[in-house]
Amino acid sequence: MKVTLQINGAEREIDVSPMKRLLDVLREDLRLTGAKEGCGEGECGACSVIINGEVINSCLVPICQMQGANILTVEGLLRDGQLVPLQQVFLECGAAQCGICTPGMIISARSLLDTNQHPTRDEIKEAIAGNLCRCTGYIKIIDAIERAAETG
Amino acid sequence: MIHDSIVFSPTSLDEAYGLLAERSPGARIVAGGTDLMVLMNGRLLDAKDFIDIWRLNELRGVTDEGEAIRIGALTTYTQLIKSPLIQLNIPALAEASRTIGAIQIQNRGTIGGNIVNASPAGDSLPVLAAFDADVEVGSVRGVRRVSFNHFYTGYRKTVMKPDEIVLAVSSRKLKPDERSFFFKVGTRRAQAISKIVMAVKVGMTDRVINSIKIGLGSVAPTVIRAVETELLLTNAILDATIIEQARRTISREVAPITDVRSTEHYRRTVTGNVLAKILRQLM
Whole-number pLDDT of residue B48: 82
The pLDDT of residue B44: 85
Q: Residue A135, class by beta-carbon neighbours within 10 Å (0-12 exposed, 13-18 middle, 19+ buried)?
A: middle
pLDDT at residue B152 tops 70: yes
The pLDDT assigned to B3 comes to: 64
> How many residues in total does chain A contain?
152
The nearest alpha carbon in chain A to B104 belongs to A56
Q: Work out the minimum CA distance from B190 to partner chain A, whole angstroms.
A: 6
Per-position DSSP letters for A98-124, written without gaps between them: S-SSHHHHHHHHHHHHHH-SS--HHHH
Domain chopping of chain A, boundaries:
2-74, 85-151
Rg (CA), chain B: 19
Over residues B75-82, mean pLDDT? 98
What lies within 8 Å, CB to CB, of B87 at 6+ separation is B94
Question: Confidence class of residue B151 from pLDDT cuts 50, 70 and 90?
Answer: very high
The CATH class of A85-151 is mainly alpha
C-beta separation of A96 from A39 below 8 A = no
Q: Provide the pairing of β-strand B6-8 with B49-52.
A: parallel
8 Å CB contact of A129 and B191:
yes
B76-82: average pLDDT: 98
List Cα–Cα distances, B190 to A14, A95, B15, B126, B225, in angstroms: 35, 21, 37, 18, 25
> How many other C-beta atoms lie within 10 A of the C-beta of residue B26?
10
| Residue contacts between A and B (CB atoms, under 8 Å) | 92
Return the residue in B28, B103, B105, B107 with the most chain A beta carbons within 10 A, the one to mutate for interface testing: B103
Residue partners of A24: CB distance under 8 A and separation at least 6: none
For residue B60, give every residue at least 6 positions away whose Cβ sits within 8 Å of its Cβ, in sequence order, or none.
B72, B74, B75
A130/B42 touch (CB, cutoff 8 Å), yes or no: no
CATH 3.30.420.40 fits A2-74, yes or no: no
Chain B: residue whose CA lies nearest to A61: B33
- Cis, peptide link before residue B25, omega less than 30° from 0: yes
ipTM score = 0.97
Alpha-carbon distance of A49 to B129, in angstroms, equals 34
pLDDT at B1 over 60: no
Per CB-CB distance under 8 Å, the chain A contacts of B42 are: 40-41
- Establish if A45 touches chain B: CB-CB under 8 angstroms: yes
Residue B191 and residue A130: Cβ atoms within 8 Å? yes
Residue B226 contacts residue B197 (beta carbons within 8 Å): no
Q: Do B42 and A60 touch (CB under 8 A)?
A: no
Provide, as residue numbers in chain B, all residues whose Cβ is less than 8 Å from the Cβ of A129: 102-103, 189-191
Chain B residues near residue A62 by CB distance under 8 angstroms: 7, 30, 33, 37, 50, 52
φ and ψ at residue B213, rounded to 5 degrees: -125, 130
| Residue range B205-259, pLDDT digits in tens | 999 999 999 999 999 999 999 999 999 999 999 999 999 999 999 999 999 999 9
pLDDT digit of tens for each residue in chain A (152 aa)? 999 999 999 999 999 999 999 999 999 999 999 999 999 999 999 999 999 999 999 999 999 999 999 999 999 999 998 999 999 999 999 999 999 999 999 999 999 999 999 999 999 999 999 999 999 999 999 999 999 999 87
Residue B2, pLDDT score? 60
The DSSP bridge partners found for residue B170 are B70, B134
Q: Residue B101 and residue A64: Cβ atoms within 8 Å? A: no
Q: Which residues on chain A are in Cβ contact (under 8 Å) with B3?
A: 17
What's the pLDDT tens digit per position in B15-58? 999 999 999 898 999 999 999 999 998 888 878 899 999 999 99
The distance of Cα B255 from the centroid of its chain, to the nearest Å, equals: 18
CA distance to B31, B213, B227, B259, per residue, from B144 (Å) = 21, 25, 26, 36
Question: What are the structural domains, with CATH classification, of chain B?
Answer: 2-52 (3.30.43), 57-172 (3.30.465.10), 180-281 (3.30.390.50)
Q: Which residue(s) pair with A49 in the sheet? A: A56
Q: What is the DSSP string of B190-208?
A: SS---SEEEEEEEEEETTE
